[in-house]
Structure 1
């Protein structure tokens, strides 16, 4: 025989359960009807349907009171508990209000996004949305697929890798584009392609990627550069460059933020390559849809402002 899930529930109109609960609590059809904004005739009709479905009289009239049957007395606690639980769980999500929200965002980032974007973001939000909280997480891969799918992070801000496959449950938008430049110590006076290939290099690999887009482009041109160091930290890397003969390719936005505080020089990258592209990744079934959509719009506006200043 086929096993039918919830066979008892499928025989019952669940709208009758609040009616049972109200009559049981008030011991009155009239008072129960008032509570549920129903007419007494509609309430009596619903009670008749419930009696037929459950094959029990449920309530007996004694004077002005409706007294429960033994079966109704047994049912009442479970029905009350179930209705209370469902009422709490099915409460609509509150509308996201920026000025009063205390929402907590967990965001997967790289050093680049933390260094170049979050100072401006926090400055903007301290007046607009002062109650928001952020937890920034460094993750060892892009685009934080596992964490996004599991709901462990709300957004991931990172660059796409050459071997990255698009996942159907992730939304991705191109967020920030910036050209690559090269930084060196202050002793260097020029940077030709020949100089670049002759030098040793520091490469930042925040997602532990095997090869960067620069190496792929050089390979297409028939060249290989000498990589002396790979590191996941973009912020430690310029300090190494400033004290050595190493070169480092870096987005112009980060290089110009570092320049006033460090003994480095900025040179144009001596070969053509697509811009550094950072994406915002989110899950299509995010439980914070309104909040994350709002935050994405704020981040996109900041990116426009940053691009206009370049």
Structure 2
């Protein structure tokens, strides 16, 4: 016990540590104040106390915001570990009753997964836990994993092939379908490979890339297609397909759920494209969090209900 700095420990509290992590994440006191429901002067006062306790500026003012010092970056994993332990202790001490809980959770996924699962998940949460609010964010797989790691979201949904320190639940295994406007001459039946590569294609890519998984598979056959457009999201792509002669190769689950609504024909692709898994992830640090475990369970329930509806049609 002699090595413990009891004086400085007494000067710290959990709110200060949470503020420190929030400043690291956002780099702006105004954003932190809005997120935590505080005044900007209160955040500045907390930062002054943190600087005094740790004997370091921690953040330097720059034109773009607050830049963490080397000491702040060194402290980050240690502070996160402390918050994790305290959070686990609180969860265990208070228990978790969804019907009476008050909290905010954030979910990140690409627009297709939010379209498939988001509305049903929101409806389920309103029934089971009306005091829990939820924010949905459109995030690609890498952005979603980074947001999960940085505590910006509580759960991620998508196709994640990367290894990640997360607890995951399989929602569905999916494949691909070719879609285009209902009266597209190419889609009166399933297109042949020659017809397929001769068509003008649209690809869904948040970065605007004109090359994707289909092109890699076509190369195995010594073929290539002509991609003339890229859209950042699936549903905007479906809207574009309904008004053009373009075709697209998209996840079968999305084509099945929204093809008819956008007036699209849905056909089998002329090549075999590998299947992929859609998973829901929470960070492993939240393994003992009843809230996060409950949230993960709700997504799994929604996915099972969606799969049951699909089999019944």
User: TM-score by structure 1 length?
Assistant: 0.64
Q: 3-state SS of the aligned residue for 2:266?
A: strand
SS in 2 for 1:105: strand
Stretches (4+) displaced over 6 A? 207-210
Determine the structure 2 residue equivalent to 1:114.
114
Go from structure 1 to structure 2 and tell me whether the alpha carbon gap of 1:144 and 1:259 turns closer, same or farther (over 3 Å shift).
closer
Distance 2:208 2:287 in 1: 29
CA contact (8 A) 1:100 1:131 kept: yes
What are the residue-to-residue correspondences of 1:59-138 with 2, within 5 Å?
Answer: 92-93=90-91, 94-138=94-138
Deviation at 1:147, TM superposition (A): 1.7
Structure 2 portions without partners, runs of 5+: 8-85
CA distance in 2, matches of 1:269, 1:297: 34
Distance 1:286 1:199 in 2: 47
Q: 1:285 to 1:207 in 2, by over 3 A?
A: farther
Residue 176 (structure 1) aligned to one of 169, 172, 176: 172
Question: Structure 1 residues 222 and 124, CA, compared in 2 at 3 Å: closer, same or farther?
Answer: same
Contact 1:175 1:279 in 2 (8 A): yes
Query: Could you say what the CA RMSD is over the residues aligned between the two structures, in angstroms?
Result: 2.7
- Distance verdict in 2 for CA 1:187–1:145, change over 3 Å: closer
The aligned length equals: 224
Q: Return the alpha-carbon distance in structure 2 between the equivalents of residues 235 and 101 of structure 1.
A: 34
Mapped partners of 1:210, 1:183: distance in 2 = 17
Greater helix proportion:
2
Alpha-carbon distance in structure 1 between the residues aligned to 2:208 and 2:288: 29
When structure 1 is superposed on structure 2, of 243-252 and 280-289 the one drifting more is 280-289
Give 1:195's aligned residue.
195
In the superposition, the TM-score normalised over structure 2's length comes to 0.64
2:163 equivalent among 156, 162, 166? 166
Distance (Å, rounded) in 2 between the aligned partners of 1:148 and 1:208: 24
Deviations 1:220-273 (A, max 9, x none): 232222111112111110111111111111223322332343232111122212
